[in-house]
A and B are shown apart, each in its own frame.
Chain A
Amino acid sequence: MDLPITITLMDIRAIVPELTLICVGLIIMLLDLVVKKKDLVALAGIAGTVLALFGTYKLYGVTDTQFVFSNMFVLDGYANFFKVIFYINLILTICISIKYMEIEKSSFGEYYALLLFATSGMMIMASAADLIVLYLGLELMALSTYILTGLMRKQPRSNEAAIKYFFLGAFSSAFLLYGISLTYGMTGTTNIKEIAFAISTLGIADNPIMYLGLIFMIVAFSFKVALAPFHMWAPDVYEGAPTSITAFMSVGPKAAGFAVMGRILMGAFGDMQAQWVTVLIPLAVLTMATGSIIALSQTNIKRMLAYSSIAHAGYILLGIIAGTPEGLTASVNYLMIYTFMNIGAFAIVIMLRSKGFQGENLDDYKGLAKSHPVAAALMLIFMFSLAGIPPTAGFIGKFYVFMELIGSGYTPLAIIAIIFSAISAFFYLRIVVYMYMKDAEQEIVLTQSPTMNIALAVTSVMVLVLGIFPSFLLYFVRYSIMGY
């Protein structure tokens, strides 16, 4: 008898970027045993990422959607674009980590390996064409980030953050599984395309069990992207985790969560759009409200940025609510912009951390403009961008999301979003006021390193360039999502 060999060379080619990251991750763990200087390990990580990026670049030529591994894994512009976001996130995170992890005395080789694993998990999520693959990608990402959160073993805050993240994360993945199980039971398949087909042919869009399945999945994704009321973990975890990991988590898992949200909601549950929009609108409003309002009374900058990232998740969700390809384009565009501005802001937060000085209080930013004008100016750019003030990229991101939302007829929702966006400007500008108009209470020493400077240069330039020439990125996003 002959075995039906279904794995072809094409299949392997499609997952080359993921394989590259995982292999480099494994190599790093081995290198870690022999290499004393962890900088080299980090550079190996960056090199691996660049290699994977090259792989994705090669695959970008494949404009047609391509299903491999028996329709388990999909390769399309949508997935590839998200992979680019993950690469950028990964490289920038490694750049800002090197010096910081030394100061935190947690400079392990595993740190970089886990970053690579987590990123490959996100990439698998973005490319998942089947709920099983989706689940595996999600767990690969989640388990790696749990460890990264608790990596500073000697610090109670880091331990606590890891415990909270782990338990609530596992709790939410139980919901995801239950949702998958119910959907599988109703449609008889775990494949995203086939689910969509089954829903329309069986006419079960109004079936209560389908509702439950859909809601449970939305809950799980909402947890990953920190939508209220499933956001409770985010402030605590963001505050307790190593700052570089906070930067990583505030972008990567969030983008991955939105990637699957876009794919599942629009791909699998396209026929149930009316249903999921009903659920998402209150979630979006609640998220924007929670994020912008509670951030006002924060005194710790990491916590403040955590609430800020919750609010941003709300804005990004708006594009998905718009429910059109253009809406999705606006959301993805926002995510890319958000990547740069958020990591940039965290990079400044990391610079303030020096030996024996935490540098996480808002008060530490007082008078920064006088002692360190360049750092203050960069922070000003990032804060303006997060607040959405032109000509920074943040404005462009918000503008397109709001326009698409209005275009789809959700004008009241857009107005609510604009109001919350105005409220959120206050806490961003407060930092600017602290930096430029207050006198310093103590001497601040900035921790600098070449990679950190590169990361800051890249993020700030991108924030400005994308703000002044937004059409290029938008065109790129449109081109990528076209086939989707």
Chain B
Amino acid sequence: MLKYILIPLLPLLSFIINILFGRNYIKNRAHWIAVPAILGSFVLAVSACIEVLNGKVIDINVYSWIVSGSFNVSVGILIDQLTAVMLMVVTSIGSLIFIYSVGYMHGDKGYYRFFAYLSLFIFSMLTLVMANNFLIMYLGWEAVGLCSYFLIGFWFHKKSAGDAGKKAFIVNRFGDFGFGLGVILIFLTFGSLNYMEVFGAAGGIVGQTITLLGYKVDLITLICLLLFCGAMGKSAQFPFHVWLPDAMEGPTPVSALIHAATMVTAGVFMVARCNTLFSYSQTAMNTVAIVGGFTAIFAATIALVQNDIKRVIAYSTVSQLGYMFLALGVGAYSAGVFHLYTHAFFKALLFLGSGSVIHALHHAKQDDEQNMQVMGGLKKHMPITYWVFILATLSITGIPFLSGFFSKDEILWQTFQAGDLGKFLWFLGALAALLTAFYSWRLIYLTFHGEYRGDTECESRIHESPLVITIPLMLLAVGAVAAGWVGIPPVFLEHGDKIGYFLAPVLGHPEGHGTHAQEYFVIASSIFVAIAGWVIAYIMYIKNPGLPEKLFSAFRPVHKVLFNKYYIDEFYDKTIVQPVLKASDKIILAFDVNVIEGVVNGVPSLIGVFSKGLRKIQTGLLSNYAAVMAIGVLCVVGYMFFMR
């Protein structure tokens, strides 16, 4: 049992040691603690995974946290097939990112702090995925949010970083509120928070309704929608997607960790974990599918015109998460999790690759440059980065026989099979795939091809990143190419789709109604859009570099809307942030702009007035105190005789 507990505990230990002794003793040697810890977790996770592969499911209660009568909350571990996949993703990608960070963060003032937070982040994520009940999962869920706040705002002296951290935290708060309510509702309904008990009893409440504000609401739909609300916040689905692109303010390894391996996948994981509940509610499923499909295309359009290299990848993440939810929504849970798993590799690779670019430019220019418009021609200076980037791009765009192709294709095929709504969503998905191919290649061409668009003196100083950065990149590239081979569809390979069957005990395995011909059609169209997007990008940025400008001026309004991300941020600012600020300004005279502080100082303002009045009783005079005591005695005596 100790073995399983150690998986999350090693990173926690690394956090504690680094945060306590980092400042004075460990300083620049923080990675000597953090890296072995995560590697240890990885090794243990692999061994646990092997046990699961051999058919063992680990479900143990480590100890009871609170026992009071029938109320029992225990801390427990559940490692089943789903958790095993998540464990592999989190620890393997986590390890590579840790190693990468050794090079990337070298010389940073907060080096030990960075590794401490990173370890805590991994610990939180492992808690989240390994929990065997909703309470512990909620704990991990909140802890992940908190860590992301620390990490995104890691360079807190940069105002934008601090703001981005707060934004992530607050937007997540909205989602988490829904998730919290969902957990409470689960407890009220089932009287337990343990997964097995809840899922086992879920069938019994189908069709039950509760009255909410005069409307009859289906209980299980309500629970699912509340849970999904949390998932939307964490996994940055529309309309809660706004925090994720801003989260790029954090150091690049953090972006990679948040986007690839940990935080954003939490929502997908949670919905997959609760698949039993979701399967009972068609409404909830459709909502998940529609939100996912919409987000996939919505975010892809924004990514088309962004200039910040990390921002493009960020929107690409939002879009890919949309795919995962699309799969979950049509009941193809294992396809969603499969995509989560392959996506982790190529997305981590893209982020770390862009980090390598930024790192190189940082050393050359002494300035954090992330604008692709002033890059270009980096291919010859950074060959390794360039080639891994190419592999990641091939994978994400869905070029056959790379990871991304199999998982994305599985999603599109499953969606295609799911009725009329499915056909429509498939169309959205395929369109998004076209856009994905375009913006991904656009990124490559702008960054690596053509001539360097900065000053020449600086160009001479650009060189490839050190080995500690490029080795993780190369390892990830192997993953980006080969990770998907566990899920080759049966049409290509007899006994294929191994991961689907592996996950089947937890997630079920949908039997499609589609024919082989239809499947070939879907595959062919996927390949077609992937290549079409590539070709368009090639024409626009290599063959005919003046074309983008012309197009932009021809479609100026469209470009402007896209470039400004549909004005969603501005919309929130106008409709939610500003009115709240104005209203509270009127209610509370001395209101600080800070939202959290507003809550802390504002809500009790009424009580505060009361409090100031009551303070006057405490006059400071001994005689008055004695008089209050004497009156108190009289009152108690009178009360007692009166009450009896």
Asked whether any CB of A lies within 8 Å of a CB of B in the complex, the reply is: yes
A-side residues, CB < 8 A to B, are 163-164, 167-168, 171-172, 175, 206, 208, 211-212, 215-216, 218-219, 223, 229-230, 232-233, 235-236, 275, 278-279, 282-283, 290, 293-297, 373-374, 377, 391, 396, 399-400, 403, 407, 423, 426-427, 429-430, 433, 437, 468-471
Query: How far is it, in angstroms, between the C-alpha of A167 and the C-alpha of B610 when the chains are bound?
Result: 30
Residue among B63, B139, B632 facing the most chain A CB atoms (10 A cut-off): B632
Whether A437 lies near B622 (C-beta < 8 A) is no
Partner of A229, one of B23, B629, B639, B641: B629
Query: How far is it, in angstroms, between the C-alpha of A218 and the C-alpha of B635 when the chains are bound?
Result: 13
A426: which B residues are within 8 A, CB to CB? 600, 603-604, 607
Whether A167 lies near B67 (C-beta < 8 A) is no
A236: which B residues are within 8 A, CB to CB? 618, 620
Min CB–CB distance A337 → chain B (angstroms): 14
Indicate if B640 sits at the interface (CB-CB under 8 A): yes
- The secondary-structure label for the interface of chain A is helix
Q: Which 10 A-B pairs give the minimum distances between C-beta atoms?
A: A229-B632, A232-B625, A297-B611, A296-B611, A426-B604, A403-B68, A297-B612, A293-B611, A433-B600, A433-B597
1/0 per position for B602-644, CB-CB distance to A under 8 A?
Answer: 0110011011101100101010111011011101110111011
Min CB–CB distance B275 → chain A (angstroms): 28
Indicate if B555 sits at the interface (CB-CB under 8 A): no
B604: which A residues are within 8 A, CB to CB? 296, 423, 426-427
Whether A275 lies near B644 (C-beta < 8 A) is yes
Partner of A211, one of B67, B600, B640: B640
Can you report 29 A-B residue pairs in the complex whose CB atoms are below 8 A from each other? A164-B622, A206-B644, A211-B637, A211-B641, A215-B637, A219-B633, A229-B631, A232-B618, A235-B618, A236-B618, A278-B640, A279-B639, A294-B611, A294-B615, A296-B604, A297-B611, A374-B23, A403-B69, A407-B69, A426-B600, A426-B604, A426-B607, A433-B594, A433-B600, A437-B594, A437-B597, A468-B65, A470-B66, A471-B64
Query: How far is it, in angstroms, between the C-alpha of A356 and the C-alpha of B178 when the chains are bound?
Result: 50
Partner of A430, one of B600, B639, B644: B600
Partner of B607, one of A172, A296, A373, A391: A296
Whether B66 lies near A171 (C-beta < 8 A) is no
Given known contacts A168-B629, A219-B633, A403-B68, A297 and B622 CB-to-CB distance under 8 angstroms:
no
Min CB–CB distance B378 → chain A (angstroms): 38
Given known contacts A293-B607, A407-B69, A429-B600, A275 and B640 CB-to-CB distance under 8 angstroms:
yes
User: Which chain B residues (55-84) contact chain A, with CB distance < 8 Å?
Assistant: 63-69, 71
A216: which B residues are within 8 A, CB to CB? 633
Query: How far is it, in angstroms, between the C-alpha of A406 and the C-alpha of B600 when the chains are bound?
Result: 29
Whether A437 lies near B640 (C-beta < 8 A) is no
B19: which A residues are within 8 A, CB to CB? 377
Extra contacts besides A275-B640, A433-B594 (10): CB < 8 Å = A168-B629, A223-B629, A275-B644, A279-B639, A279-B640, A282-B639, A295-B611, A396-B66, A433-B601, A437-B597
Indicate if B210 sits at the interface (CB-CB under 8 A): no
Whether B628 lies near A232 (C-beta < 8 A) is yes
Whether A232 lies near B629 (C-beta < 8 A) is yes
A163: which B residues are within 8 A, CB to CB? 622
Whether B641 lies near A208 (C-beta < 8 A) is yes
Q: Smallest CB-CB separation from B594: which chain A residue?
A: A437
Query: How far is it, in angstroms, between the C-alpha of A230 and the C-alpha of B624 when the chains are bound?
Result: 12
Whether A175 lies near B622 (C-beta < 8 A) is no
Whether B611 lies near A171 (C-beta < 8 A) is no
Indicate if B590 sits at the interface (CB-CB under 8 A): no
A470: which B residues are within 8 A, CB to CB? 65-66
